[in-house]
Amino acid sequence: MTELRGPVRIVGTGLIGTSIGLALARLGVVVELVDGNPDNALMAERIGAGSRLVEIEPQLVVVAVPPDHVGAVVAEQLEQTDAVVTDAASVKSKPLADARSLVPDVSRYVGSHPMAGSERNGPLAARADLFDGATWAITPHATSDPDAVDLVRRLAEACGARTVELSVEDHDLGVARVSHLPHLMSALAAGTLADAPASHLELSGQGVRDVTRIAAGDPRLWTQIVSANSTALTGLLEQIRGELDRLLVALGKEEANDELTAILGQGVSGAVRVPGKHGTPHIDLVTVLVTIPDRPGQLAKLFADAAESGANVEDLRIDHSPGRPVGEVELAVKPGSVDQLVDVLTDRGWVVHT
Amino acid sequence: MTELRGPVRIVGTGLIGTSIGLALARLGVVVELVDGNPDNALMAERIGAGSRLVEIEPQLVVVAVPPDHVGAVVAEQLEQTDAVVTDAASVKSKPLADARSLVPDVSRYVGSHPMAGSERNGPLAARADLFDGATWAITPHATSDPDAVDLVRRLAEACGARTVELSVEDHDLGVARVSHLPHLMSALAAGTLADAPASHLELSGQGVRDVTRIAAGDPRLWTQIVSANSTALTGLLEQIRGELDRLLVALGKEEANDELTAILGQGVSGAVRVPGKHGTPHIDLVTVLVTIPDRPGQLAKLFADAAESGANVEDLRIDHSPGRPVGEVELAVKPGSVDQLVDVLTDRGWVVHT
């Protein structure tokens, strides 16, 4: 069992690197902070993520630089130190291939991917608890030293994450499916709205808001992410193109037909497999709709009343239909809690629909 | 000014027809309920949406049957009555063309589209307030009688909706863009997950959940909706195919490139145009993140504390990252309310991040 004693060198003090520094610092591990941008490193030091100059050899180096540079920095750190080296990039094949092309021996390198993030960037968005309970993928390659794998697992656990071990290829295909492809589909759907007349956008409902939300992400960062995973993504996009052609043929018949229903049915089969809250695959929750006046304090009153019923609200959503003077809140609860919740809310004067 | 006096005949007592009946009944308008399925009509009558047998001529007929049958039923009602006839289908060109092919004079027909719905179906899901503040599109055609247009507008207003007048073609292109195309893109993205290994789905985050949510909708209903709007949708899907090909070429270069960034940038331009809450195009809201233990009463406490700060929570979202023992709530508030909200929440012991 390899212990994580430190020092740990963190190269790249953006959101992820600084958050790892904060998480390790709270455990008393010595952290060295390195960043090409001295302002970032200074900022990270000031908020307590480590120190800029540490005069000892690191046990572990964490490379948390932008995706394009990961492989080169990993290779550099393998050459400059005797440390185990890991990275935090969201794609694993390319950094490994890049590092391999630069140094002969990559056995001290083990890729990893902490699956937590934020729409906010930079050291100021960092938090010691960013990874608490998050999934952290560990992706050993054929020549990874088992002790190095172990040490990287200790790092993830020290940050409070739950580790999942996958091969490099399997990881990249997985994130292509559940992250990169959805992002590209969202971007393509949103792209058709860029030049749409305003009168069309007025007809928007919750569906288009959900589908296009992630398309607002930083195009430069996403360019790096998707190019680094181009092999896995190309296969999936070709599959999408095949389905799109099938869809165009089916729509061309102008009448409702079984082919269309089959394509849409395939979508249902996929959608219901996406895990919900806390990784539980698809708990059956019941939705209770409550009409709510749009003014301060109403949500507080609603949740106080809901809590008194003893029901745990597992999920919620506010409906934003344009022009509605009142809002609507969807509360999702376990089936056993529904009756009591509805009774209590109705008693307190809420307009409730199940 | 045409007044809506009734009687109103509603053909089709599903969610939409029965909700219109309930809304009119609360105003004292006489409503006749007709449905091919006698159980549905009986159910709608029992919950107070109208009566099954009314012995007088209707002033207005509302056709709220499944999309495929709308044109035929509209034609039938134009022949059997002297009433103004409208429908509630989500696509407007096809019902009009179908009705025109069956009766010589469609001047008493004016299409309309109440843009409210629910994931629930049938008369039991109906509510008198379903349309309160919702958008209701009115789509006159070239030969629509102006009095008929006026009467349909009165119907929408009587149901509490905000009317928007659009041509039939413009309406269908608009809903193709903001509803049908997003649905198909969601279905295609979700479809790739149907046969994915479970280990890939374990890597799911909020993005894929948002993008695939609407793909879970009833495939038979959506087959009818998208086939009825095949012309507008085919044009958009061909545009998507062009962009998809461009994306495949850009990804094939394997290096991050400007072409990729341009495609993603187009997605950003579209995503930011989707209107937010209450139809306001894109209020600048600030997001405050609060960590919250997953047990009953915590949301109530959070919202009570938030309310005391005087901030109105404009939007909220619960983060469901798989495996997290604690949840995270995103509260969106106006910029002027942020400082006070953060101060009050921090004072009360909440872990808050901005």
* Whole-angstrom distance, CA of residue A302 vs CA of residue B300: 7
Q: In this complex, do A260 and B226 lie within 8 Å of one another by their Cβ atoms?
A: yes
A165 DSSP β-pair partners: A138
Contact criterion met (CB < 8 Å) for B263 and A187: yes
A104–chain B Cβ distance below 8 A for any pair:
no
Bridge-based pairing of strands A326-333 and A315-319 is antiparallel
Question: Which of A297-311, B268-282, B306-320 shows the highest mean pLDDT?
Answer: A297-311
The nearest CA of chain B is from the CA of A55 a distance in Å of 33
- Closest alpha carbon to A60 in A125, A168, A152: A152
In chain A, which residues have their Cβ closer than 8 Å to the Cβ of B205? 115, 178-179
Q: Which residues share a beta bridge with B290?
A: B329, B352
Q: At what angle do helices A219-228 and A93-102 cross, to 10 degrees?
A: 70
Q: What is the pLDDT of residue A12?
A: 96
pLDDT, mean of residues B69-80: 97
A147 near A82, Cβ under 8 Å?
A: no
Alpha carbons A287 and A307: distance in angstroms, whole number: 16
B66 versus A154: the higher-pLDDT residue is A154
User: Which tens digits make up the pLDDT trace of B89-138?
Assistant: 999 999 999 999 999 999 999 999 998 865 567 888 899 999 988 889 99
The parts of chain A modelled with pLDDT lower than 70 are: 1, 117-120, 277-284, 294-296, 318-327
Are the beta carbons of A277 and B320 separated by less than 8 Å? yes
pLDDT number for residue A282: 45
End-to-end CA distance of chain A: 53
- Mean pLDDT score, B137-152: 96
Q: What is the percent of chain B with per-residue pLDDT over 90, rounded to a whole number?
A: 63
B247 to each of A194, B190, B251, how far by Cα in Å? 17, 19, 6
* Residue A262: half-sphere exposure toward Cβ, Cα within 13 Å: 9
Name chain A contacts of B201, Cβ cutoff 8 Å: 178, 273-275, 281
Contacts of B227 in chain A (CB under 8 A): 251, 253-257, 260
CA dist B256 and B250 (Å) reads 8
Mean confidence (pLDDT) of chain B: 88
- Cβ within 8 Å, pair B182-A325: no
Mutate to test the interface with B, among A178, A284, A326 (most CBs of B within 10 A): A178
One-letter amino acid at B239 equals Q
The strand pair at A351-353 and A286-293 is best described as antiparallel
| Structure tokens given for B231 | 């012309």
Predicted confidence at residue A234, as pLDDT, reads 96
Chain B environment of A271 (Cβ under 8 Å)? 186, 190, 193, 212-213, 215-216
Nearby residues of A224 by Cβ (< 8 Å), 6 or more positions away: A66, A67, A68, B256
Question: By the CB < 8 Å criterion, does B336 face chain A?
Answer: no
Per-residue model confidence (pLDDT) at position A294: 67
Strand partners, B95: none
What are chain A's domains? Answer: 8-166 (3.40.50.720), 172-271 (1.10.3660.10), 279-353 (3.30.70.260)
Report d(CA B206, CA A288) in Å as an integer. Answer: 22
Confidence check: pLDDT of B282 > 60 = no
DSSP category for residue A159: T
Decide: A303 and A290 in contact? Cβ < 8 Å: no
H-run or E-run covering A251:
helix A230-252
A177-181, A331-335, B174-178, B222-226, range with the lowest pLDDT: A331-335
Across the interface, of A254, A268, A318, the residue whose CB is closest to B227 is A254
Instruction: Kindly state whether A336 is in contact with chain B, defined as any CB-CB distance less than 8 angstroms.
Output: no
Residues 6+ apart with CB under 8 A from A65: A11, A12, A36, A73
> Given an 8 Å threshold on Cβ–Cβ distance, is A251 in contact with B227?
yes
Rg (CA), chain A: 24
Question: Residue A274: which residues within 8 A CB-CB, separation 6 or more?
Answer: A178, B190, B193, B201, B204, B208, B209, B212
CA pseudo-torsion sign B108, B111, B114, B118 = positive
**For B211, which of A116, A182, A268 is closest by C-beta distance?**
A182
Chain B: closest CA distance from residue A88 (Å): 15
Q: Maximum distance among all alpha carbons in chain B?
A: 73
Largest Cα–Cα separation, chain A: 73
Residue B323: pLDDT over 60: no
- CB contact under 8 Å between B215 and A323, yes or no, is no
The confidence score (pLDDT) of residue A323 equals 47
Strand partners, A291: A328, A351
pLDDT at residue B117, rounded to an integer? 67
ipTM at complex level: 0.76
Cα→Cα distances A41→A8, A51, A70, Å:
15, 8, 18
Residue A169: list chain B partners with CB under 8 A: none
The answer to whether A135 contacts chain B (CB < 8 Å) is yes
Sequential DSSP letters for B123-186? GGG--TTTTTT-EEEEE--TT--HHHHHHHHHHHHHTTPEEEE--HHHHHHHHIIIIIHHHHHH
Distance from CA of B45 to the nearest CA of A (A): 19
Residues of B with CB below 8 A from A245's CB? 241
E-strand spans in B30-142?
A: 31-34, 60-63, 84-87, 111-114, 135-139
pLDDT band per the 50, 70, 90 thresholds, residue B289: confident
How far is the alpha carbon of B211 from chain A, nearest alpha carbon, in Å? Answer: 4
Per 3-state DSSP, chain A is made up of helix, strand and coil in percentages (nearest 5) of 50, 15, 35
Model pLDDT, residue B302? 83
Across B346-354, average pLDDT: 83
- Dihedral sign of CA atoms A79, A81, A82, A86 in order: negative
The confidence score (pLDDT) of residue B279 equals 41
* Average confidence (pLDDT) over B287-312: 78
